[in-house]
Amino acid sequence: MTSVISSAQPRVRPFSLGAAILFSIITVGSLIGLPAFAYYYDFTWVDWTMFGILYVVTGLGITVGYHRLIAHRSFDCPTWVRAGLLIAGGWALENTALKWGSSHIRHHARCDQEEDPYNAQRGFWWSHCGWIFYTDPYADEKYFARLRRDPVIMWQHKYYVPIVVSGLALPFLVGFLYNGWIGGLGCFLLAGVGRTFFVLNSTFCINSICHLWGKQPHGGADSSRDSWWVSLITFGEGYHNYHHTYQSDYRNGPRWYNFDPSKWLIFTLSLLGLATSLRTASNETE
C-alpha cells in the first residue's frame, strides 16, 4: 500500500456528549434490553419479520441512497424514488444525507489522512465507531456545496428528526396492533433499537474491517480492501478496494457472481424505468 502523509496539522476534537449518549442507549438497549425482554416475554414472528424487513430497507437506504446515489452519483432516479431512499436511509440513524454524504466524499478525497473522518490509520476502534464520539474539526464547505444544491437532500436534512422518529414508531405500532403494549415494546426493541444497532455496526465494518484486513486486487493507493463476507451483511459494500478504485461505479461487486444486492436493486430499478444513467468502470473490470 502506498502511504500518503497528510499536510494538515492535527486539530482538537471536542467530545460529543449527545452522540455518546445516543449510541450508548442503542448499545445498552440492544445488548441488555433484548436478552432481558426475550427472557421474560420472548419475541414473536411479527417482531422478527419486522426486524428483517427494516434491516433490509434501512441498510439499502444507506448503501443505495446515501452512498451510491448521493455521495457518488452512480445513477439518477425520479424525485419520489430519491425521497424514498433518503427516508429509508434516515431510518438507519446515521445522520442526514447531507452530513453523511459530505463526510464520505471527504473520506475518499483524504483517505488515510488526518482529515479522513474515519481514518483507519488511527486503529480499528477509531475507524469502527470511535470517530462518532467527537465533533469533526475538519468539516469543509467544499464537500457540502454540491449536496446543498439538491432540494431532496435539503428536505431530508430539514425533516430528519421526524423521519427518525417515524422509523422507530413504525415497529412499535405494528407490534402494538398485533399484541398490545407488550407487543409494541417487543417489536420496538427488536426491529427498532436492535435493528438500528446491527445496521450501524454493519456499516461501521466497512470503515474498519475493509480498511484493515482483506485483499487489494484493484490497487494499493490507499488502505481499502475487499472483504466478501462483509458484503453479506452490508448488501455488497464489502468489495471496498474495487469501490475506492472505481468510485462512481454503481456496482461494488462488478462480476455477476459477486454478492451485491445494492447493484441488483439499482439495476432492477433501471429495468422499471426508475433509475437512469447507471455508471460503470472500464470494460476491463467486467
pLDDT above 50 (res 98):
yes
Cβ atoms of 190 and 51 within 8 Å: the answer is yes
Mean pLDDT calculated for residue range 225-253:
97
pLDDT digits (tens, 9 = 90+) for 14-39: 999 999 999 999 999 999 999 999 99
The CA distance from 8 to 266, in Å, is 37
Instruction: Compute how many other C-beta atoms are within 10 angstroms of the C-beta atom of residue 254.
Output: 20
The pLDDT value recorded for residue 8 is 61
- Which H or E run includes 273? none
Q: What is the pLDDT of residues 125-136, one digit of tens each?
A: 999 999 999 999
138 has pLDDT over 70: yes
Backbone angles phi, psi at 115, to 5 degrees: -80, -10
pLDDT of residue 13: 87
Give the pLDDT score at 261: 98
Domain spans of the chain, in order of start: 17-217
Summarised one tens digit per residue, pLDDT across range 42-64 is: 999 999 999 999 999 999 999 99
At 282, is the pLDDT very low, low, confident or very high (cuts 50, 70, 90)?
A: low
Widest CA span of the chain, in angstroms?
58
pLDDT tier at 4 (50, 70, 90 boundaries)?
very low
CB-based contacts of 46, cutoff 8 Å, min separation 6: 174, 175, 178, 179, 183, 187
The pLDDT > 70 percentage for the chain reads 95
Residue 5's pLDDT band, with cuts at 50, 70 and 90, is: very low
Count of other CB atoms within 10 angstroms of residue 100: 23
Res. 218: pLDDT tops 50: yes
User: Does the pLDDT value for residue 111 go beyond 60?
Assistant: yes
| pLDDT interval class at 11 (50, 70, 90) | confident
Contact yes or no for 226/239 (Cβ under 8 A):
yes
What's the pLDDT score for residue 286? 40
Q: Residue 23: CB partners within 8 Å, gap ≥ 6?
A: 129, 132, 133
pLDDT over 90 percentage in the chain: 93
**Is the pLDDT at 278 greater than 50, yes or no?**
yes
**pTM higher than 0.85:** yes
Report the pLDDT value the prediction gives residue 165, as an integer from 0 to 100.
97
> Over the chain, what is the mean pLDDT?
94
Is the pLDDT confidence value at 2 over 60?
Answer: no
What is the reported pLDDT for 10? Answer: 79
Q: Grid coordinates representing 27?
A: 448499545
